[in-house]
Structure formats: C-alpha cells, structure tokens
Amino acid sequence: MADSDSDSVPEEKFSLKEVLITFQSCLTDNQEILTDSYVNGWRGLVRFMNSLGSIFSFISKDAVNKIQIMVTHQNGENGDKYETLQSMVKYELDNNLVDLQRRAEHPESGCRTLLRLHRTLRWLELFLEKLRTSTEDSKTSVMCTDAYNDSLAQYHAWIIRKAATMAFCALPGRAAFFQTMNVGSTEQVVAMLVEAIPFISKVYEITEELYKQHNLLELP
C-alpha cells in the first residue's frame, strides 16, 4: 500500500552552493553583469532565508518586491534594454527614467531598485567572509549583525535597523546554519565559500564602479 509520502513528488533538497555559484554566471566575457542571473541569485537567497523562519518575512517581502520590480522591467516592452546592468543604466539615464533628486515620476526605476540589492550584496559579501573565517564558537547572529552594521545599516531608518538586528538574533547557531546550507561538512562549506566569494566581490565591484561613474550611488 502506497503511503502518502511515497505518493508525493520528493522535493529536491535545496543547496546554497548552486545559489552562490549563480553569481559566477552573472559575469559576461566583457565584464558586464547579466540582470537575469543577478535576479536569480537573489531569488535563491530569499528562498534560503525563508527556510530560516517567519521572523525574516518582513525582509523577504521587501526583497521579493524588489525582485518583482526588476522582473517587470525585464518582461516589459523594453526588456531587451535590461539584459545587463550596464545596458539598463544607459537606457534609463538616456531616457530620463531615473529620479535623481527625490522619488517622483519614476519611483521604481531599475537603477534605484537594483541599488538596494547592490547594497545588500555588500552585506552578503561581508557575512560570507566572516562565515568563512569563523570558528566553532563564532555566533552567526554576531557575524550577521557586524556585517550589517558595516554595510547596509547606514541606509536604513532606526526602526528597520532595530527589527533587522532583532531578527538576526533568531539565526541558528553556526553548526545548524551550516547544515541548513546543505553543502556538506564544515570543510565543504568553507571550500564552497572560498570558491563563491570572489565572484560575489567581483559582481559587487563592477556594479559599484558602474554606479559611481554615473553618480548613482545615492539614488533616493
């Protein structure tokens, strides 16, 4: 007799390795960044964050909203202009589609939306680096908070900072966190981080330079 478990399609175990490696596939040969892979990387990260518990759902909601804005641009009639971050910046600036001083006619431009994800990528880079060099008694909540304070926190209002740091306290301990990543032993996690971090750093650096060149780093 078939039980209900064997009737259901087994859900594929989610591994963070594939997600982090997605950032490798963002880079084209001429060092442009593919929007689709970038957004996909964030989708995977959000999926991972959701598996950590509902306390993160206010963060998840904001991330999903930003992902959706990017997807809408990509699927729109000028979707081809959003193929890379470089082509997006050129298209939106050439056509005055970015609010540069205050949010007005274009509150959901690709440039300002992507900037929020870009700033979060810096948090991710710092957090992963801390995880890579962590020891058995390191606390994920402390690593996450320190990475946040050194990056994203400066852009957030007091209330968001409070809510975020409270949520970080609910992160599982290092061993359980590594298990949730579903990459294998601690050594395998570290090896994966060694492989993935340089790509994330590269994507971050290229985007930062692009935004700097066009004076877009403070978009409202």
Q: Smallest Cα–Cα separation from 203: which of 70, 27, 16, 44?
A: 27
Compare residues 63 and 111 and give the one whose CB is closer to ligand LTTT4AJV: 63
Q: What tokens appear for 61 in the block?
A: 């909601």
Note the maximum CA span of the chain: 67
**Six-digit token pair at 100?**
């540069």
In whole angstroms, how close is the CB of 60 to ligand LTTT4AJV at the nearest point?
Answer: 7
- Nearer to ligand LTTT4AJV (CB atom), residue 28 or residue 68: 68
Residues in CB range of 195: below 8 A, 6 or more apart: 21
Q: Residue 81: CB partners within 8 Å, gap ≥ 6?
A: 87, 88, 90, 91
Residue 219, CA atoms < 13 Å, CB-side half-sphere: 28
We find the least distance from the C-beta atom of residue 164 to ligand LTTT4AJV, in angstroms, to be 4
Name residue 163's amino acid.
A
- Interface residues toward ligand LTTT4AJV, by CB under 6 A: 16, 45-46, 48-49, 52, 56, 58-59, 62-63, 116, 120, 123, 128, 131, 144, 152, 155-156, 160, 164, 181
DSSP 84: B
Q: In this complex, which beta carbon is closest to ligand LTTT4AJV, that of residue 88 or of residue 167?
A: 167
Shorter beta-carbon distance to ligand LTTT4AJV: residue 33 or 189: 189
Least distance to ligand LTTT4AJV from the beta carbon of 160, Å?
5
**Residue with smaller CB distance to ligand LTTT4AJV, 74 or 120:** 120
Residues 6+ apart with CB under 8 A from 7: none
Least Å distance, CB 122 to ligand LTTT4AJV, is 10
Total H helices, total E strands in the chain: 10, 0
Residue nearer to ligand LTTT4AJV on the CB measure, 123 or 199: 123
Q: How far, in Å, are 10, 123, 130, 202, 210 from residue 82 at the CA level? A: 36, 24, 33, 20, 15
CB 14 to ligand LTTT4AJV: min, Å = 12
- For the bound state, the minimum distance from the C-beta of residue 13 to ligand LTTT4AJV, rounded and expressed in Å, comes to 16
